Amino acid sequence: MRVLLLAAILSPLHGEVLLKQSGFCGCDSDWMPWSAREETMPRVFVDTKVGIGDSGSLAINGASKAASYGGWQRQVDGVKPGEWLRLKAHYKAENVAAENWQVVARLEWLDAKDKRAGEPDYAPWTRRSGDWNELSVEVQAPENTASVSVQFYLANAPLGTVWWDDILLERIAPPAPRKVTVATVNLRPRNTKSREESVGKFIDTVAAKVPANADLIVLPEGISVVGNGKKYTEVAESIPGPTTESLGKIAKQRKAYIVAGIYEREGPAIYNTAVLIDRAGEVAGKYRKVYLPREEVEGGLTPGVHFPVFHTDFGKLGLMICYDVFFSDPARHLTNQGAEIIAMPIWGGDEHLAKARTIENGIYLVTSGYDHPTYIMDPLGERLSQANDAAGSVALSTVDLEKRYKAKWLGEMRTRRLKELRVDVQPPTPGVVR
């Protein structure tokens, strides 16, 4: 059965529904085809045989045009400036090479004169379930908003088809703040005699200098080797192992997550690894440094092969280590998986590139370094807090992971980049001259 609810339906569970539709029959005059130019118009039609539940969906086919771009849109009136809306929709796609940018769901904000009231907001996050995928986004209407155009497009997929169904636009309460207190330590032990003594200096500093309310504590790269003159082979250990046990004790006492760089041995391989210890003192995850400088390769280290993202009780956390900052893909891979904060133990590295990684991905970056400053940076590249040069100093900041950062002319770039990133264009093999 076709379900269509327009405005002013109040539900204590979902808030006020502005648009809800499951099933299409070809008589939905409120949905209008759109393309920037007639010659780039894809084939837009209602497919009465395809649907996620009720029969019928909004279909878009590339019509064998490489330049085709467009689809369906519908204007919803009565939107108020500053209110929060949630858009959900389901789609199924065939013969689409890069769904992240070719399958487009977005909200176009309009003022009382039907002019653009603010930059469009995209629905970037997808959950797959069988043949159908759910897209969703929660956004705030800009100033001067009077209505919103709900838009579903297919971009430059000449042989592709996408079906849209089960569409919901509803008012929601503003998201509650999601505050995280981050502490990062500036310390470089010197003239220590062992791995245990070097690590102990960091444990003592956390105990003495880090405030008790910290949710996340970040320590530098190689805390088991700095200051003691040992080789990687001499300090390498298993995970879990002696160092993670020591870190676990202070993490449990503080009820905080701790990130630190150590050297991990697994069989003949030794990795430069960042460990994540949870509030209970257990190893919650590890990241093996993917980009190794030649000095580490010559020192016998093996590179990692994955960029994992870890789910914490405050949000999604990614890890990078030092030389990773010289390359764009580590931060990009983490952000593509939803990382909101990247913690980066670092020995030394380019500050400009660290700032670039932050801005281009719209994430918080937390560094703890020796020859690189120790700081907490927001998604616009501004340092919220920086440790001074004194040994054992701490940078501290409380950040709200629900805060949205918008560039003046471009809008909210974290989600926009996810929807415009070209993962289908393969770069040539580095160094191969043709």
pLDDT of 250 > 80? The answer is yes
Please compute the mean of the pLDDT values over residues 345-368 and round it to a whole number. Answer: 97
Q: Give the angle subtended at the CA of 318 by the CAs of 317 and 323, to the nearest 5°.
A: 150
Indicate the pLDDT class of residue 427, thresholds 50, 70 and 90: confident
pLDDT of 9 > 50? The answer is no
Please compute the mean of the pLDDT values over residues 69-84 and round it to a whole number. Answer: 97
Instruction: Please tell me which of 50-64, 325-339, 404-418 the model is most confident about, judged by mean pLDDT.
Output: 325-339
Supply the pLDDT for residue 245: 98
Please compute the mean of the pLDDT values over residues 43-54 and round it to a whole number. Answer: 91
Supply the pLDDT for residue 28: 67
| Higher pLDDT among residues 3 and 129, named by residue | 129
Please compute the mean of the pLDDT values over residues 223-245 and round it to a whole number. Answer: 97
Q: Listing from the earlier edge strand, what are the strands of the sheet with 393-400? A: 283-288, 269-277, 257-266, 216-218, 179-186, 393-400
Indicate the pLDDT class of residue 8, thresholds 50, 70 and 90: very low
**Domains observed in the chain:** 3-172 (2.60.120.260), 179-406 (3.60.110.10)
Task: State the pairing for strand pair 269-277/257-266.
Answer: antiparallel
Please compute the mean of the pLDDT values over residues 286-297 and round it to a whole number. Answer: 98
Please compute the mean of the pLDDT values over residues 194-198 and round it to a whole number. Answer: 98
Indicate the pLDDT class of residue 25, thresholds 50, 70 and 90: confident
pLDDT of 13 > 80? The answer is no
Q: Is the Cα dihedral 344, 350, 355, 358 positive or negative?
A: negative
Supply the pLDDT for residue 5: 36
Indicate the pLDDT class of residue 392, thresholds 50, 70 and 90: very high
pLDDT of 80 > 70? The answer is yes
- Label residues 340-365 b or e (16+ Cβ within 10 Å = b): bbbbbbbbebebeebbebbbbbbbbb
User: How does pLDDT run across 92-115, given as a tens digit for each residue?
Assistant: 999 999 999 999 999 999 999 999
User: How does pLDDT run across 111-166, given as a tens digit for each residue?
Assistant: 999 999 999 999 999 998 888 999 999 999 999 999 999 999 999 999 999 999 99
| Least confident range of 129-138, 144-153, 311-320, 393-402 | 129-138
Indicate the pLDDT class of residue 258, thresholds 50, 70 and 90: very high
| Least confident range of 21-35, 61-75, 217-231 | 21-35
Please compute the mean of the pLDDT values over residues 73-96 and round it to a whole number. Answer: 97
Supply the pLDDT for residue 434: 76
What percent of the chain has a predicted confidence (pLDDT) above 70? 97
Supply the pLDDT for residue 16: 93
pLDDT of 409 > 90? The answer is no
Supply the pLDDT for residue 149: 98
pLDDT of 7 > 70? The answer is no
The average confidence (pLDDT) of the chain is 94
